[in-house]
Amino acid sequence: MNDIERSVLEMIGEDIDSPDVFTDDSEGMAQVRDSINDAIEEITMLTGSVQRSYHMLLREGQGFYRMDFTRDRFGWITDAWLISIKRRLEQTDLIKLNQFNPRWLKNTGNPEAYGQIGQNVFFVWPRPAAELIVELNCVVIPKRYENDYDRIRLREVFKWAAAEYAVGEYYASRGDAKQAIEHHNRYLEGLGIQTMYPKTYEKRWWYRTEKTPQGVTG
Amino acid sequence: MSWSSNLKRIRRFLRDPDGNIWTDAQLRRLFNDEQFVLQTKTRLLEDVQAVRVPPMFDFSYLHDWEWPFLSSTTGNYQALRVHQQSDIVFCHRWEPQAEWGLVDATAPDEGIHFTHPFEAFMGETPGDAIHLQLPHGFHDAKLVAWDREPIEYMAVKSIQQDDPSWLSRTGEPFAYWRPDKTDDHFCLYPAVSSPDWNDTESGSTTEAIYLVDENGNNIIHIAGGYIVISEGVTDYIQDLIDRGIGQVLYRDGDTLAVEVGTIADGDGYIPGSDMGIATDIIDADENVLFVFTKTPTPMAGQDDESDFPEYLQKYVEYATLERAYTADTDGQIQSLRDYWAMRKDLGLKAIQRFMGMRRADRDYRLVTRGAPGFRTRREPRLPDEYPAVRR
């Protein structure tokens, strides 16, 4: 049981030393770990806080590459560096390349730009004339942790927010929507992005007519 | 994450682990529907695939009633022509006319007819449109290119107005058209005149596996992601290799992707695939390259996995929970419906922000008005390397 899990159990009134429902094993902690993992994914996705570096082989004449991240999940690329040429690749997209030259797929040479399509396709322009190694710095979504000794890749300030996220989901699983909303709002406050996530979301707004309803007089 | 894992998580929040209120089928339908909604709102799923020319379909069939009995629903081709008034299938267009006594029954048609589209490339003039299979999950195109040259969509009307021999026209394709949008097929115009039969990845001409011989006989069977070679055909394959004929589709050691008729994932090209980052190249040479937005694959079996990345699937689950709590059942709870609706909407905003951050490495430049910049009109122009300019 890690610190976040301990905080969650304390907030939902579970005895940490002798847990009743959420026992200290993978089966007993499955629900809490699921929620904490969801929180970690969302926080890293929104903050881009976890980055890793990869070396990828660009093959001669090949412009498109489907990437398969076997440890973490790919988010986006922040830097692409051609090691042997000592140069950055500029980020681009299909619209820009089509505007620049509709026959851009034919071009070969030393790559000058790269782009991302969907969630796992990486392309370079022009296609490499010879094999090259590109170093990619990528924001990744860390693999879901499974054991209490696995590293939690979160800044300290966000760990408490992750705990609130899990507590909110616990109450949602009990059918208590009010408590669930309250804890989820605390999670959002902890994350510090309240402007994007309005706190008063639970209010439902509607237009009201100024006409007098039928049958009402005076 | 498999559908069974998604279902388990959804049931946990519904507090209905045994399916007493919401059935598995109901939740699966809601999940599938919400996948489409999420994709419609975010257009997150995109892909790049190369479609092989000549094409490879799983089955050919003649009548519509045959379709439900075919084991593949992703790569079927309706061959020849159905005479809608009499529900018979005919080959040449003079056949129904001759039946009505309109023309001489010996009047030639404009080309040959075939039951598998790859037969159209056997050296004869095609008399039918040559169907190609759109990539798996195709929704709409962002870029289509034949042999690395961009091609554009054309309506049949435009083609027919300019070219009376449009069906039998062959050459370098510069456009594509779609015969029927429910079949997910497309056709190149003009049809490819000399396709590359030896459609293997670069550097591999040996150990090729032949799927179809020169007579159109299937000698290798593909099933369940494996290539099954019929017993006793090894020598026959070697003979074909030696003679350099037949249709080469996959290299030895390749594993098939689920997409039928597209480039297969090649094990041999993935260095160190058990760690770090593994790549699979996408070959656009002598093929039709599609960059497109995808339609999410619906969940059908317990082991199916959503096309959305694992870390975004929870937002589909939230939307499913909202829909489940909205349904008029014994489990309808308004407060929980609103809670999950809030979570879903927050998730949508999170995805939009996430997609915006993918452009974090873009360089934005201020441009002076009137200064020459990138070309804004996609007009034809000579290749960049022609003429060679020396300064």
Q: What is the pLDDT of residues A119-166, one digit of tens each?
A: 888 899 999 999 888 999 999 999 899 888 888 888 888 889 999 999
Q: What is the pLDDT of residue B193?
A: 84
Question: pLDDT tens, A164-174?
Answer: 999 999 999 99
Angstrom distance (rounded) from CA B179 to CA B185:
7
Amino acid at B337: R
CB–CB contact B281 A65 (8 Å): yes
The neighbouring-strand residues paired with B90 are: B81
CB–CB contact A201 B345 (8 Å): yes
Write out chain B's pLDDT in tens, 391 residues: 899 999 999 999 999 999 999 999 999 999 999 999 999 999 999 988 888 788 877 788 888 888 888 776 557 888 888 888 777 888 887 787 776 666 665 666 778 888 888 888 877 888 888 998 888 888 889 999 998 889 999 999 999 999 988 888 888 999 999 988 777 889 999 998 877 765 443 333 223 333 444 455 544 443 333 344 444 555 555 555 455 444 444 444 444 433 333 333 333 333 333 445 555 556 667 788 889 999 999 999 888 899 999 999 999 999 999 999 999 999 899 999 999 999 999 999 999 999 988 888 888 777 777 666 665 556 677 776 676 655 4
* Nearest one of B176, B181, B138 to B154, comparing CA atoms: B176
Q: What is the pLDDT of residue B72?
A: 67
Q: Which residues contact B17 (CB under 8 A, 6 or more apart)?
A: B11
> In the sheet where B288-294 sits, what is the strand order?
B46-51, B288-294, B138-146, B149-150
CB–CB contact B384 A45 (8 Å): no
- CA-nearest residue to B6 within chain A is A34
Q: Is B343 on the interface with A (CB under 8 A)?
A: yes
CB–CB contact B310 A73 (8 Å): yes
Amino acid at A207: Y
Q: Reduced to 3 states, what is the DSSP secondary structure of residue B334?
A: helix
Q: What is the pLDDT of residue B382?
A: 73
Nearest to B378 among A66, A102, A196 (CB): A102
Q: What is the pLDDT of residue B229?
A: 45
| Average pLDDT over every residue of A72-96 | 91
Q: Which residues in chain B have their CB less than 8 angstroms from residue A55's CB?
A: 276
Question: pLDDT tens, A3-48?
Answer: 899 999 999 888 888 888 888 888 888 899 999 999 999 999 988 8
Q: Is B83 on the interface with A (CB under 8 A)?
A: no
Q: What is the pLDDT of residue B225?
A: 33
Angstrom distance (rounded) from CA A87 to CA A81:
6
CB < 8 Å from B in window 2-21 of A: none
* Nearest one of A85, A91, A136 to A115, comparing CA atoms: A91
Q: Which residues in chain B have their CB less than 8 angstroms from residue A69's CB?
A: 277
Q: Is B375 on the interface with A (CB under 8 A)?
A: yes
CB–CB contact A62 B346 (8 Å): no
Q: A8 and A163 in contact (C-beta within 8 Å)? A: yes
**Hey, of A65, A96, A133, which one would you mutate to test binding to chain B, going by the most B CBs within 10 A of its CB?**
A65
